[in-house]
Structure 1
């Protein structure tokens, strides 16, 4: 039995175009709301009913289908791209769709909608077991949406994360992420008159940066990376405030907790050292994906597709949350392409159609 996807390639491309042409950086809530509204319109056209747009902590979340699903398709419609990052915003070059968020992950949303649409005639009311969630703050850690998506996911026996693939492979393990900020408060004075009476935060924070980086254990997949640093106000003033952001990735919860304990104990000699932030997403461990990955390969064979393949990656997603809840979770079943968060971002049209067929076949097996 075919999935019914093959005849709607043009519709899928048009749906992706409409979403991509709506610039939706995470920081611009009204802009993301416009993308949510367009996505909801597409749900109405393709699935015969629109979803509910909920506002959670001032951010929109689109929820279509069951309030207590057994199968959950999880997406986000925010992007990392500031307005005007791509000129033109949408372009097709052969099989390649280009534009901000096309790979991460607007094509994935369209794939999910069309996969469920292809099953309507066959399953009818049984699709009441399915839900689609599209959030608007995933790229910055899902602080607003996490509680709601965990509440909806609690009843699920399978969660499909429609994030982009990695080299065409599904993501069966992801590192956990932690985000920290260190503020060092010193004392500002005139840099030319009496600098010795100040507490120079540029100097003080420079002493501890190597200590922070030394918490990394890359041989077991733990990275602790100082990233954004700012200090001082003017050329002729001893800096009185320095701020450092630190990105942490770890493959196990134990490593996340070790870094959390140790990083908070790092202090300097002079000035006031204040840590904030903490563990954001727990790891998505391979055991959470094992059964759904096996189903993906079985489904690919049934459809006459080549083996899919799997990969462990350092980036995190909302799948980390559902996997930590003990729910079978498969990630990276969205777009095939390249360039997530990069100027060469693109998604394959053929890959989009194939992966939509694959998702439909997997959902069929679970219904």
Structure 2
């Protein structure tokens, strides 16, 4: 499929506010991305009235019947075995079969990962998928992965995540050489577990496809000095939730402070323009659209509780990944990484041992 005619498979029944949010998000996205079209999977009786309300949407959207839906409480194994006629499964399968370029779902995260891994498999050179997304920083945006797909990772997984995140930042942030940092308990060379130190050693070698900055700490994430933050899924998910919780707490503190007196309320009115800019800057909808990197296909996970605008942003992430050929660039980067790893682990030959000896 050509880059200017991208077909998106949408899970019409996935998410807290489906199918309304999915249909309305598609309507916003079609105006932003002319030339795109949609395969919308779900219950036609619920989807068609919503589509018909949006003038012109039916021209670029085809409703594909799905008699089932993955529920929020479904375990990944159950969804994998028993939800094969669901809107999520059929949408993912459309990408696996080549009928669509990418899939977007706001449904059950674990189920989406399990179904996508089964249907799409892994891209050449990748062993595990990583969930990646954006975070706002003092200098713009930073990519962070893994955010929960893998609770434990070895050195090779972490090195592959670094390549995935670097290519992701190149494609979506337009960076030529993103700076990659490995999240650690300190920036010193000897800090952290062996897997982390080994991954850093590989990424620093000549021929590495990434610009490895080295180790960073949690308080470096928000500075924007690093473009890609790499960690295992356990640490990444905890860090993400801590950042989100702190942001909500700070927002509540600010609101409470402006309610303490009449003068404080007046001050809030005078500063209302600045607060509007701040809300836009940190609006979580702008950063909606986590991606399972490493799959042999583009799969974007929207936040389940987002609104139509947030879902449209997730669609935008999917479109850009296809348009700028993320998968091809990833395969190239992973190939270079594994060449570096194989060279580093190659046994020393007798000739080299002889030449390197001395008296």
What TM-score, normalized by structure 1, do the two folds share? 0.27
In terms of fraction of residues, the more helix-rich structure is 2
In terms of fraction of residues, the more strand-rich structure is 1
What TM-score, normalized by structure 2, do the two folds share? 0.27
